[in-house]
Structure formats: structure tokens, C-alpha cells
Amino acid sequence: MFFVENYAVAVAFCVVTMLCWGSWGNTQKLSASKTWKYQLFYWDYGLGILLSSLLIAFTLGSMGSEGRGFLADIRQAGMNHLGLAFLGGVLFNLANILLVIAIDLAGLAVAFPIGIGLALVLGVIQTYWFNPKGDPVLLFAGVGLVALAIILNALAYKKRVASDTGCSQGGGAGLGIAISVIAGLLMGAGFFGLVSKGMVKDFAHPEAGLMTPYTALVVFAVGLFISNFLWNTIVSLKPVRGEPVPPSSYFSLGSPRLHAVGILGGTIWNIGMALSLIASGKAGTAVSYGLGQGATLVAALWGILIWKEFKGAPKAAHRLNAAMFILFVAGLALIIRAGA
């Protein structure tokens, strides 16, 4: 199987993870319409994660003479470790569906910094607890700066809504922030820690009973895909706002283009997840997860610069967002240094 042995390469993988996790939300924005709701998008998103996981496992996870190939690995993995990765997929899926709802209500520039930023703070703490690798002072100083950046972003959004610019998302302001917080708490509760806890520590010489990152990725994806029939059905029939969306609409309203965009969104996110798990062997799970969740910065840039979600906002909101970016970059720099 393929794995990395150089810290600089591991950091580069984490940066790509950050770009993937911060960019997949654009596919939701691209496909959104009055008829194609986020619930319908999410069926394809989950399918994209499952299909790309299998593709990665049968290619990168099965190549070379070192490590343990995917099929051999999944046959020997202990049921308790498989169960942890599966549960990680179920937990992440609930949190991510709530994040998708928050994006629909408040936009990328708000839902991501609040939801994923909070998940970063909680997730780094938990993953470091399970695998204490890296300088804790630098690591948690970086996490503290990220936490402060989250607060500034929430304040910027509050000022944007208070300016009464006629933004269509203004009515969901408080609800969007609240759902973002809930999503962040659930995501930070440990989906990455659950997945990585059952993984091997030595990728070149995998321990018996534990999983390689490729097996963990597939089991995680299966948990996500199966739980979609519970979580997504609930939010389809009992939406936060608007009319119920019958799951049958997926077949009657969908076009090849819409399905392709959703599958692409899931694939983009999952490439980031795969690289993060692979990088964790060298960088440590806390650093790998923390850098990947720098996706908040990427998503906020998409929302502000491309989707113009703060157009017409007062100058104070723009100053708060500028300060948020500075704190995020400084926090990520400290997290990188902590791992080195």
C-alpha cells in the first residue's frame, strides 16, 4: 500500500485535504435550485464518498509490496475496530447533514468557520488525547487562535444581518448559527478519533487486528452511506424550513448533470479524508486533523470572494472577517510547527 515517510509531504497532503474539505460545499451551491434541494444533493454526495473510497482502496491501498493490501487487511481486522470506523461514519454523517442545512441557511462564509472551526478545536483536543504527538503548547496555542477566529466570524455575520441589506439568508441568521454550532459539536465529538483509533500505528509493518487507513476509509464510507437512509430521510420529510422533500424526487427531478455534481462533491471531500488519514501516520492525528480543518479558511474565502455572501455588509463586518483570516492563518502555522 502507499504511505508517506516525510513530514513535509505529510503536511502537503494535509494542505490538499484543507482545500478539498473547504471546496466541496461549492458543489452544493452550484446544484441548488427551487426543485433540487440540499436533501437531494446529499444522496449523491454520500454515493460519491462510497465509490471514491472503494476506488482509492483498490488502487493506492493495494499497490506495492510494503504494508498490507486492502482485501487482506479487511479480512483480518477486528470487529471492534471495524465498528469504530463504521460509527465514525454514522456520527460524521449526522454532523455533516446539519452543516449542509447551515450552509443553506447562512452561506459558506458563516457555516464553515463556525461549524468546522468548532470541530477543529474539539477534534484536535480529542485526537491529541488518543495520540499525543507534537508540541502541546504550540498545538493548543494554534487551536486557541482558531477559536478566537470563530468568534470574530460570528460577530461579522451578526453585523451583516443587522445591516438589513436585504440578504435572502437574513431570516435564518440565528437558526443558521445555532445549527452550525450543533454541527461543529457533533463533528468535533470524535468521528476522526473513532476512525483513527482502530488504525495501525506503523503503516509499513501493520499490527494484526488493526486497519490500514484505506480499510478505515472504506468502513467509514459504508457507515456514512447506510446512515444516510436514516438521517437524510428525516431531514427530507421534516425539513428545518420549507416543504418536505419526498426521497422519490431524487429519481423524478434529477438530471445526469445534477447527479454528477453531487457525486463530485462527495469525491472531493473524500479525497481530502483519504489524504488526511494517510498523512496521520507521519504527522500525527491531531496535526493531520487540525490542518485539514483549516478548510474553514478556504470555505470562507469562497463564500466572501466568489459567492459574495458579505456583499453590502458594513465595513465593521469586513474588518472582523479580515481579522478572522489573520488569526486562522496564525493558528494553522502554529499547528504545523507543533507537528514538526
Running DSSP on this structure, what letter comes out for residue 63? -
pLDDT value at residue 241: 83
CA distance 323 to 107: 19
Give the per-residue pLDDT at 279: 94
| Distant-in-sequence, close-in-space partners of 316: CB < 8 Å, separation ≥ 6 | 156, 159
User: What does each of the 340 residues of the chain score in pLDDT, given as a tens digit?
Assistant: 999 999 999 999 999 999 999 899 899 989 988 889 999 999 999 999 999 999 999 999 999 888 999 999 999 999 999 999 999 999 999 999 998 898 888 887 778 788 888 888 888 887 788 778 789 999 899 988 988 887 888 788 778 877 754 444 445 567 888 999 999 999 988 788 889 889 999 999 999 999 999 999 999 999 999 999 999 999 999 998 889 999 899 999 999 999 999 999 999 999 999 999 999 989 888 888 888 877 878 888 898 888 888 888 899 999 999 999 999 889 888 988 887 6
3-state SS class at 337:
helix
Which residues have CB under 8 Å from 32's CB, separation 6+? 38, 41, 104
Which pLDDT score is estimated for 167?
Answer: 45
How many Å is the Cα radius of gyration of the chain?
A: 19
Spatial distance between the Cα atoms of 109 and 302, rounded to a whole number of angstroms: 7
Q: Model-level pTM?
A: 0.87
Instruction: Give the residue extent of every domain in the chain.
Output: 7-339
pLDDT for res 165: 47
> What is the per-residue pLDDT for 166?
47
Give Cα separations from 108 to 102, 171, 262 (angstroms). Answer: 8, 16, 17
Residue carrying the nine cell digits 431531514? 235
pLDDT at 285: 85
- C-alpha span between 237 and 50 (Å, rounded): 24
The span from the CA of 104 to the CA of 175, in Å, is: 11
Collapse the DSSP code of 199 into the 3-class scheme (helix H, G, I; strand E, B; otherwise coil) and give the result.
strand
Q: Are 261 and 30 in contact (CB under 8 A)?
A: yes
What pLDDT is attached to residue 173?
A: 63
Whether 251 and 44 have beta carbons less than 8 Å apart is answered as: no
Contact in structure between 293 and 16 (CB atoms under 8 Å): no
